[in-house]
Structure 1
Amino acid sequence: MTASDNAASERVALRDLLGAVGAGLGTPLRPEWERAAWVVRRSAFVPERIYLGEELVPCDRGREPENWLRAVYGDHSVVTQINDGEDPGDREPGNGDPGGGERWASSSASAPGIVFRMLEMAEVTEGCRVLEIGTGTGWNAGLLAAVAGPGNVTSVEVDPALAAEAGARLRREGLRVAVVAGDGAAGYADHAPYDRLIATCSVRSVPHPWLEQVRPGGIVLTPWESPWICYGLLRLTVDDAGGAAGRFSPHSAFMLMRQQRTDLRIFRDVVRDTHRPDGSTTALPPWRVTEDDLAARFAVGLLLRDVWWTWHDNPEVDGVASRLWLATTDATSWAAVDWDGTSDDHFAVWQYGPRRLWDEAEAAYAWWVRHDRPGPERFGLTVTATGQIPWLDHADRPVPVTGTGAAGAVTGTVTGAG
C-alpha cells in the first residue's frame, strides 16, 4: 500500500469515526473540535505497538497496518502499554515467576467518543488555560492545544517514559504543550491558575491541589471510580473558598490514577483460615448489586465507599455453584454470598470482621430502590477542606455513606490461590 493509499484510508476512517462520535453524542461535534480532529491526527499519537482484545495480543503497525489503523480509528479505547511498561512477553506463570505471562493494561488511548464528550463538557475555548492530568499518548493534549491555543495547555504524566514519548509527538506535530513528568494528584502549581482541569484517569477522591490550582468559577472534569465500579464523569465548579461542587453524568470507564491503586486478593490478603464468620441468609440475589444495571452499581459504589467485590465460580464447596465475595479496601472485613445454582430467593451469607458488608450492600440497594432507582445524573459531590460529600438531587440531601471512603484502588481482585 502506497503512502497515498494510506492517507486516503486514514481520511475515510476519520470521517467514519467522526460520524460515529456525533451519533453517540446525539449531535454533531462542535466545529472547533471537528477541525482539531483533522489537524491532530490520532494515528500520529498512537504507538507503533498496541494491544488488542481481552488477551491483550500485540499488534504492530508494520506487520498489521490494516488491523492497527482499524483499531486506532475505532470508537473504543486502545491499550498502548501493559504492566506499567514491563512487557511479560511469552513467559509462563510459575517456575519462581508468579507474574510471568500475566498481562494487564496500564495505559491506553481513550475512546474518541468519550474524549470529545469530555472536551465539550469542559467548555474549553480559545485562550483557556488548561491543566490535563494523564498525558498518555498526547493526543488529548494535542486536541486541547488546537482549540485553547499554543502555550495554554499543561499536561502531567506519572510515567516518565510516556511523558517523553508524548512530548516528542506533540513537538513533531508542531503543538506547543508543556508536558511534565510528575504526580498528577499534585497537579502543576508552576503554571497555575488554570481555567480548566481535565483528568484522563479516574479518581476515587478529588485531590485538593486540583482545586487550589483552578481559579474560582473554573471547571474540574474527571472520570470517577469507586472500588465497586469504574463508571461516571464528575464535573465540578470551583468556588472562592477552595472547595467545589458539581454533578455526575453516566459516562466513562478510565484507568485509575496510579497513585490510588492497591493490589488485593481474597485468599492472599483478606480471608484467613482462622476466621470464623457469622452465618445468615438473604433473599436478595447477589447479582442484583454487581451485574447489568449500571445505575444500581454506581449508587451502591457511592454509598459503600471502601468496599469491593469479585465473583468466584465453582469454588469447590458442596452445594455452592458461585460465590460473591465482598471486602473492605483495608482488608479487615469480608462477606460471602453463596448461590446453589438453582434458588432465586434464598442465599447463604457469611460475614466476618467489624463490619457486616452484605448487610451494608443490602441496605444500599434498598436505599437506591426507595429513591426511585436514580441514575448517576441525579447524584452530585461537594468537596470541602474537610471532606467529600455525595448527594442526591441537591447538596442538602447527602447520601448515607458507609465506611471510610478510602481512596485506594483495587487491582487484580481475583479469587483463588495467592
Structure 2
Amino acid sequence: MPRAAFLPELIWPYDSTTGDSHSVDRRDDPAGWERAAYADTPVTTQWDDGAHEGPDPGRVPTSSASMPSVVTRMLAALEVFPGARVLEIGTGTGWNAGLLAARLGDERVVTVEIDEDVATRARAALQGAGLHSEVICCDGRDGWPKGAPYDRIIATAGVREVPVAWLEQTRPGGLIVAPWGTHFGHEDALVRLTVAEDGGASGPFLSAVGFMKLRAQRLDWDLFDHHVGAYPGDAEESTTSTAWAELGERRLYGGTAFILGLLVPDCTHLVNERDGVTTVWFFDRTAGSRAWASVVFRPDGERATVYQSGARRLWEEVVRALEWWRAAGSPPLTSFGLTVTADGAQRPWLGDPAHPVPAVTVRE
C-alpha cells in the first residue's frame, strides 16, 4: 500500500535540515516527486485550510502525509488484530486508512475528515487502490458514534484534550492512540490509552512527535492581543541565571518544552530571535487574565532580563517546574503518562497514575 498512490501531483516535502518546505510537481519533475513520495519525511498536501493556491508554500500547513516511520510507529502502538474495528480521526490523504483496511478489511475501518475536499480526494485514492472503507466528512472531535463501539481509535491530528466522545465510542479494554500535548508549545507526544470499565482511560507517552492540530483545538493567538501594551510598561523587572538552553528550545521535539507544559497550566510560550537576542514570551491562558512574562537572553552570557506582569508570575512558575523536574532526576518524556477521566479531565502523571504531576502556579 505505497504512500505515493495517495499523494496529489503537487506536494511540499519537509526538509529537516533547513526546516522549510518546498514544492515538487509530478508533472514537471516526476523523478523528484517519486523520491519525495518514498522518502521518510512528512509531505504537506494542503495549506491554509485549502485557501492557498500556487506552488509556493502557504502560511500554515493544514493537511499532510506523515513520515512513514511515524505512521509505522503509531500503527504498531495501535496493536490491531484480526476482526478489530477501527476509527481513524483525520483521514488526510487516506494512506493510513488504506494501510488499516488492507490489514483488517474495508468493513472494519471508518475514517473521518473535517475538510470536504480532503475527504473527497482521500475517498478517490482509496477507491483507486481497490479499497472502499467508509470516509465520513465530519468533525473528528465528535468521533463517529454510528459505527461504535470501536476496538481501536487512532488520531492523526494533535489534540490538546482527548474528547470524551472518543472514550464513549471505545469498548472497555480498547485502545486510543493519539498525539497529545498542551498549549504551552507545539510539541506532542504519542499517547496510548487503555479505556477502563468506568469510562476513563489511562496510558503512557511513547515518544515525541509533531502533528497538525485538530481544528477544533487549535490555539487562538488572538487571545493574547491585549496582554502586552507598551513594552515593558509597568512590568516587574528582575534577572535570572537560568539559560535559554535549559528550556530545550534548540532540540526539535526534545521533550523539555513538552514536560514544562505538563507542569505549568494554562500557559503558552513562543520564541522571538533577532540580531542575536532571544526573547521568550509566556502568556496566561486563564479566562480574563492578562498576565505575561518575557525573558531576554543575550549572546554575551550575562544574566537574562525578566519582565513579568499580572497576577501570575509565569517565569517563576517555569523555573520551579524545571527545579521539580531536575529534583525528580530529569525523567524523560517516556516516564510520563496521561489519565483522562470519564468527564474529560486530563491528568498527566509520572511513573504511574497514582503519582500525578504537580501544577506549578506562583501568584503575585
Deviation digits for residues 293-340 of structure 1 (CA, Å, limit 9, x no counterpart): 52322211211242222222238xxxx932211112357221111123
Instruction: Give 1:52's aligned amino acid.
Output: P
- 1:341 and 1:327 map into 2 onto residues whose CA distance is 24
Deviation digits for residues 327-364 of structure 1 (CA, Å, limit 9, x no counterpart): 123572211111232125x2211011221110111011
* 3-state SS in 2 of match to 1:118: helix
Could you tell me which residue of structure 1 aligns to residue 352 of structure 2?
394
The equivalent position to 2:98 in structure 1, one of 94, 117, 142, is: 142
Could you tell me which residue of structure 2 aligns to residue 62 of structure 1?
27
Pairs within 5 Å for 1:238-249: 238-249=195-206
TM-score (norm: length of structure 1): 0.79
The equivalent position to 1:50 in structure 2, one of 5, 8, 11, is: 11
* Runs of 5+ unmatched residues, structure 1: 1-39, 92-100, 404-418
Whichever of the two has the greater Rg, that structure is: 1
The equivalent position to 2:325 in structure 1, one of 361, 365, 368, is: 368
Q: If each structure's strand is expressed as a fraction of its own residues, which one has the higher value?
A: 2
- 2:219 and 2:280 map into 1 onto residues whose CA distance is 20
* 3-state SS in 2 of match to 1:70: helix
- 1:58 and 1:120 map into 2 onto residues whose CA distance is 31
Moved more, 262-271 or 126-135: 262-271
Matched, 1:118 2:74: yes
After TM superposition, give the deviation of residue 144 of structure 1 in Å: 0.3
Pairs within 5 Å for 1:220-239: 220-227=176-183, 228-239=185-196
- 1:353 and 1:389 map into 2 onto residues whose CA distance is 26
After TM superposition, give the deviation of residue 395 of structure 1 in Å: 1.1
Matched, 1:280 2:238: yes
After TM superposition, give the deviation of residue 291 of structure 1 in Å: 1.6
- Determine if contact 1:250/1:375 at 8 Å carries over to the other structure: no
- Determine if contact 2:171/2:195 at 8 Å carries over to the other structure: yes
- 2:58 and 2:284 map into 1 onto residues whose CA distance is 25
After TM superposition, give the deviation of residue 290 of structure 1 in Å: 4.0
* 3-state SS in 1 of match to 2:255: helix
- 2:282 and 2:226 map into 1 onto residues whose CA distance is 13
Matched, 1:71 2:36: yes
Instruction: Give 2:239's aligned amino acid.
Output: T
The equivalent position to 1:262 in structure 2, one of 219, 239, 243, is: 219
- 2:221 and 2:50 map into 1 onto residues whose CA distance is 21
Could you tell me which residue of structure 1 aligns to residue 126 of structure 2?
170
Could you tell me which residue of structure 2 aligns to residue 326 of structure 1?
282
- Determine if contact 1:56/1:103 at 8 Å carries over to the other structure: no
The equivalent position to 1:336 in structure 2, one of 279, 294, 307, is: 294
After TM superposition, give the deviation of residue 251 of structure 1 in Å: 3.1
After TM superposition, give the deviation of residue 178 of structure 1 in Å: 0.6
* 3-state SS in 1 of match to 2:75: helix
Instruction: Give 1:369's aligned amino acid.
Output: R
Q: Judging changes above 3 Å, is the alpha-carbon distance between structure 1 residues 393 and 219 closer, same or farther for their aligned structure 2 residues?
A: same
Instruction: Give 2:43's aligned amino acid.
Output: V
Q: CA RMSD in A?
A: 2.1
- Determine if contact 2:226/2:290 at 8 Å carries over to the other structure: no
- 1:216 and 1:132 map into 2 onto residues whose CA distance is 18
- 1:121 and 1:57 map into 2 onto residues whose CA distance is 31
Could you tell me which residue of structure 2 aligns to residue 83 of structure 1?
48
TM-score (norm: length of structure 2): 0.90
- Percentage identity across paired residues of the two chains: 41
Deviation digits for residues 49-89 of structure 1 (CA, Å, limit 9, x no counterpart): 11134554322111111111111101111011111111154
* 3-state SS in 2 of match to 1:124: coil
Matched, 1:385 2:342: yes
* 3-state SS in 1 of match to 2:8: coil
Instruction: Give 1:108's aligned amino acid.
Output: S
Could you tell me which residue of structure 2 aligns to residue 205 of structure 1?
161
Could you tell me which residue of structure 2 aligns to residue 303 of structure 1?
263
After TM superposition, give the deviation of residue 188 of structure 1 in Å: 0.2
* Runs of 5+ unmatched residues, structure 2: none
- 1:46 and 1:74 map into 2 onto residues whose CA distance is 13
